[in-house]
Structure 1
Amino acid sequence: MVDNGRAAAVNEAFRQFGMPAPGGIVLVADHASNHVPDDIDLRIRGRLLGVHIAVDIGTAEIAEILARDHAIPAHIAAVSRLVCDFNREETAPGLVPDISDGHPIPGNVGADREGRLGRFHRPYHDALAEWLAAAEPALILSLHSFTARLATSDAARPWQVGVLYNQDDRAARIAIPMLEAEGLNVGDNLPYSGRDLNYTMNRHAEACGRPYFGIEIRQDLAQTPEDHTHWAALLADIAQRVASALA
């Protein structure tokens, strides 16, 4: 049972809202925070912490509503992806990025990568592994959001929502037509492919045979409290129907 959406566990690297129930639905949000610890100086302008290079806008708020109002517990990041990107392999260059969408991150040049792994990345994933093993959920929902246009590209990203997956597309194939039936322009492994960027779900879902699908919400549609409430209700309904179809 979810404890009214309050954080059941808090760590420097992650927060957990609610307690997963065996056979239920859980949510994971790797990029839900723009927090930078006081002892880390990224040497960037403060305004950059409010844009997509630092945080998946709207995901923390949606995750908390899902936990509080829809009984879908959430494991979410507590530091910015610019500090440590949890959705990257330990060896990936972008795990501690020195540039993001054309913006230099000077404070990450020569950073103690092993220190960031030990302080943030490993605790985040170790806790997630333990959390999931205790419940063995019927479905994992991976929540992200994306910018409508990258600074380093002229290509428009018209999709209102994307569904991402790698090899295991069981849940994604059910979710895509459900979202389309809501009148949404849905990206099938777009705006980027889950076959390329899917570390957290590859490790905790695909490798364990757990059904999942990734959701990417366009950030201009996830700005306000009304937006957050809307998406939480829609995703709760879709996730529940997908889990029932998989049963």
Structure 2
Amino acid sequence: MSDELFRQVGEPRPGGIVAVCDHASNVVPADIELGVDRALLDTHIAYDIGAGGVVDRLARRHDIAAHMACLSRLVVDLHREEDAAGVIPGSSDGHFIAGNIGADREARLSRFHRPYHDALGKWLDAAQPGLILSIHSFTPRLESDAGTDRPWEVGLLYNQDDSAARHAMRMFGEEGLTVGDNEPYSGKELNATMNRHAEAHGRPYLAIEIRNDLIRTEAEQARWAKLITDVAGRTLLALKSA
């Protein structure tokens, strides 16, 4: 079951940094028919383009242990609460997901959502990290809002706890990047995994959104993994010294 849901790379160190990537994969199980053009599985509606590559490099090259999903968010969105309308999306960025209309919600939650979060919770309890990185990517322009470009290169999301995010926003800004403060999405509305596994336990976190045109190649992913490692390390030091 774990191979269908997630993979874990590296060994966490107590008090160290770990990474989580809920939208790392565009895989759809063979027994689930979404009723969409297969080409859409290579777009941002199916997964966070480039995010998995960044997180894999964080784990393999920068000693930041990672928990990564192995399932497309079109099957079930692991970064939504169980009762959220979009946890099994009927549409995404203007595309109708026919196979999800009338889908057995309870079966999908039981098979995918709950085991994923149970495993993540146990992993984090054992790790006792000093800082959690939640890595996502966003499209530069939504098809459903084609007239609006998203200018941010990276965004930091948070709900109630912005303690780590404030440090990281400043540090990314010092790198000359255009940084979003709860942009392009607000963590007040979309922060499910960190609400559950970080804020609810008093664990500091950085929910990082990277514009996906900046992390499409291996070289770009490597550059961002190095940058995030630096910012995360300095953020953890700042939190410890506060």
TM-score bracket for the superposition, by shorter chain length: over 0.9
Q: Is the 8 A contact 1:32 1:60 kept in 2?
A: yes
Could you tell me which of 92, 99, 102 is aligned with 1:110? 102
The answer as to 2:227 corresponding to 1:202 is no
Could you tell me which of 51, 56, 73 is aligned with 2:43? 51
| Aligned AA (2:68) | I
Please give the alpha-carbon distance, in whole angstroms, between the structure 1 residues aligned to 2:31 and 2:212.
29
The 5 Å alignment of 1:216-231 reads: 216-231=209-224
| Aligned AA (2:175) | E
What SS is found at the alignment partner of 2:55? helix
Q: Is the 8 A contact 1:161 1:216 kept in 2?
A: yes
| Aligned AA (1:46) | R
The answer as to 2:120 corresponding to 1:122 is no
The answer as to 2:2 corresponding to 1:13 is no
Please give the alpha-carbon distance, in whole angstroms, between the structure 2 residues aligned to 1:124 and 1:63.
17
What is the aligned partner in structure 2 of residue 6 from structure 1?
none
Please give the alpha-carbon distance, in whole angstroms, between the structure 2 residues aligned to 1:71 and 1:244.
17
What is the aligned partner in structure 1 of residue 226 from structure 2?
233
| TM-score after normalising by structure 1 | 0.95
Q: Is the 8 A contact 1:163 1:190 kept in 2?
A: yes
Unaligned runs of 5+ in 2: none
Please give the alpha-carbon distance, in whole angstroms, between the structure 2 residues aligned to 1:228 and 1:93.
32
| TM-score after normalising by structure 2 | 0.97
Q: Is the 8 A contact 1:64 1:74 kept in 2?
A: yes
Unaligned runs of 5+ in 1: 1-8
| Aligned AA (1:194) | G
Between 1:129-138 and 1:147-156, the stretch displaced more is: 147-156
Q: Is the 8 A contact 1:27 1:63 kept in 2?
A: yes
Tell me the C-alpha RMSD between the 2 structures: 1.0
Could you tell me which of 56, 61, 72 is aligned with 1:69? 61
What is the aligned partner in structure 2 of residue 189 from structure 1?
182
The aligned length equals 239
Could you tell me which of 146, 155, 169 is aligned with 1:176? 169
The answer as to 2:235 corresponding to 1:245 is no
Please give the alpha-carbon distance, in whole angstroms, between the structure 1 residues aligned to 2:68 and 2:111.
16
Structure that is richer in helix per residue = 2
